[in-house]
Amino acid sequence: MNVTLRGRVQQILDIMIEEGYANTKSEAIRLAILDFGEKRANEWLLVKEKLDTIDNEIREGRRQVLNARQALGAYAKHVK
């Protein structure tokens, strides 16, 4: 696969090589892809943990679930 990089992306790639993070452009691209993947995976895990916590709090009665009308409160009269 051939990839043409220009501008800021090319500058970042050059910096990665100059500073010794990678030996080649291909290696730098692989590292960037892995870093992106790990960050996304970690983000997903944090979201999952938070949702699990909320589910547990609801189950234990420590968090209340509102229906639409309760959530809207005084503004509910404006919704049909």
Q: Considering the chain, what percentage of its residues have pLDDT values greater than 90?
A: 75
Task: Tell me: pLDDT of 9 over 90.
Answer: yes
**Looking at residue 30, what DSSP letter applies?**
H
CB-based burial, 22-59: b 16+ in 10 Å, e otherwise: beeeeebbeebeeeeeeeeeeeeeeeeeeeeeeeeeee
* In the chain, where the domains are located: 7-78
**Predicted confidence band at 50 (pLDDT cuts at 50, 70, 90)?**
very high
Model pLDDT for residues 10-48, shown as the tens digit of each residue: 999 999 999 999 999 999 999 999 999 999 988 999 999
Q: What is the C-alpha to C-alpha distance for residues 73 and 50, in angstroms, rounded to an integer?
A: 26
**Predicted confidence band at 71 (pLDDT cuts at 50, 70, 90)?**
very high
User: Which amino acid is it at 59?
Assistant: R
CA angle 72, 57, 38 (to 5 degrees): 100
